[in-house]
Amino acid sequence: MNVYDQAHQLAQAVRESEEFKQFDATKKQIEANPELDRAIKDFMTRQLEIQTAQMMGQEVDQEAFQQMQQLSMVLMQDPLAANYLQCQMRFTVMMSDVYKIIGEVSDFGLDSPLKNM
């Protein structure tokens, strides 16, 4: 069994998965709407900043958190944006599961942060 061939087969399986197809289709619809695309990117940037601060043990700015929550509520009222974020979440969960499965082979006796997820 050639690992590289298997990796290419896995990549093809990901491309053929419903999670990827739905995510890709909604992503293209979002990209066709520059205003909505910009709003989603802003939301995701704010979300990442807050998550990064939390992971680093920093106190999260309440104003930034409230702005992110308000933007989230606005986006969820738009059916396309809500669908996109849901598709993105399903795809992300699938990929996280795949990474965990692959990561099991690379356990060198160290506690992997992925192990506890």
CA-to-CA dists, residue 106 to 3, 85, 87, 99, 112, angstroms: 14, 31, 29, 11, 9
Task: Read off the pLDDT of each residue in 17-25 and give the average, rounded to a whole number.
Answer: 98
Mean pLDDT, to the nearest integer, of 33-61? 92
Q: How far apart are CA 112 and CA 5, in angstroms?
A: 26
Mean pLDDT of all residues in 5-14: 96
56: amino acid identity, one letter: M
Is the pLDDT at 74 greater than 60, yes or no?
A: yes
- CA dihedral (32, 35, 40, 45) in degrees, to 10, reads 120
Per-residue confidence (pLDDT) for residue 110, from 0 to 100: 56
Q: Could you read off the pLDDT of 79-104 as tens digits, one per residue? A: 999 999 999 999 999 999 999 999 98
